[in-house]
Amino acid sequence: MKKPLRLVVLLSGDGSIFEAIVTAIEEQRLNARILMVISDNPVAYGLTRARLHKLSTDIINAKEYSNKNDFQVALKKALIILNPDFIVLSGFMRILAADIIHAFPKRILNIHPSLLPKYPGLHTHERVLAAGEKIHGTTVHYVDAGLDSGPIIAQRELIVLPEDTTESLQRRVKELEKALYPEVLQRFAE
């Protein structure tokens, strides 16, 4: 068997997609090991999920640093020490400094709730509904220095239903994401 992929997960919030990655590892659908879960938000529920799965956690709280650069320096230091195969952004709501991206070329992945290059940034489901889109979905991509702009690795689509709301789209897109992210990671593991 090939060596498990060594991952570091960065998150800021609920962590439901991260938990789907953990479940895939536990169910041996994904040959990977999570070295550390890092959050910029000390009260992110994703940290609780990590602890329940006995994973190591680290909080690098942006608010404790006098400026954004010091936060990014601390994050980079932690990532360099861990030296994972991949840094997996899973609901991490900050833009990484170019310096971090250059330190890990093609080793930082993100999942974004739209069919990029459409709808980078926030509030994707609202914007999809307002534009009357018929198709929506999610994208896994390499992270570059732009906003949700790196090369696309995989996408998964759904059909927007007439009765869809922001909440229903968020829920349905997250279901796609929970399947897609572990599958993409497993492709790298192979």
List, by residue number, the catalytic residues.
112
The interface mask with ligand GAR, positions 113-152, x = CB under 6 A, is x------------------------x---------x----
> What are the structure tokens assigned to 102, written together?
């250059």
CB-nearer residue toward ligand GAR: 5 or 140: 140
Cα 22-81-139 angle, rounded to 5 deg: 40
CB-nearer residue toward ligand GAR: 77 or 117: 117
| Contact present, 95 and 147 (Cβ < 8 Å) | yes
The CA–CA distances, whole Å, from 108 to 30, 86, 101, 104, 141 equal: 18, 6, 7, 7, 9
Q: Is 181 in the site for ligand GAR (CB under 6 A)?
A: no
The interface mask with ligand GAR, positions 98-117, x = CB under 6 A, is -------------xxx----
Residue of closest CB approach to ligand GAR:
91
Under rule CB under 6 A, which residues in 8-37 are in contact with ligand GAR? 13-18
CB-nearer residue toward ligand GAR: 167 or 190: 167
Residues of this chain that bind ligand GAR (CB under 6 A): 13-18, 90-91, 111-113, 138, 148, 174, 177
